[in-house]
Amino acid sequence: MEINVDGKKLKVFEGSTVAAAIMSAGLNTRISISGKKRAPLCGMGICHECRAEVDGNLHERTCMILCREGMEVKTK
């Protein structure tokens, strides 16, 4: 299946989390206010480092969301 991350189409395996798809593509999940690149840390929704916009919903914890065909993700 394919999802769209920051305007780029990514092929992902069914059952992958959005965070795993972003990381496997070599991308970061977000940039902090101070400009530092952030990526998932805990992988279970506690640290909130994996937050991104998913299908128009801001600050979603991408490690807790399974990829769906055509999903739109924005990390910037």
**Count of CB atoms situated within 10 Å of the CB of 60:** 17
Query: Mean pLDDT, the chain, as a whole number?
Result: 92
- At 25 the pLDDT is 86
Whole-model pTM: value is: 0.88
69 by DSSP, 3-state: which? coil
Pick the CATH number of 2-74 from 3.40.1350.10, 3.10.20.30, 3.40.50.300, 3.30.479.30: 3.10.20.30
- At 43 the pLDDT is 86
Q: Is the predicted pLDDT of residue 10 greater than 90, yes or no?
A: yes
- At 74 the pLDDT is 93
Q: What is the pLDDT of residues 21-35, one digit of tens each?
A: 999 888 888 888 899
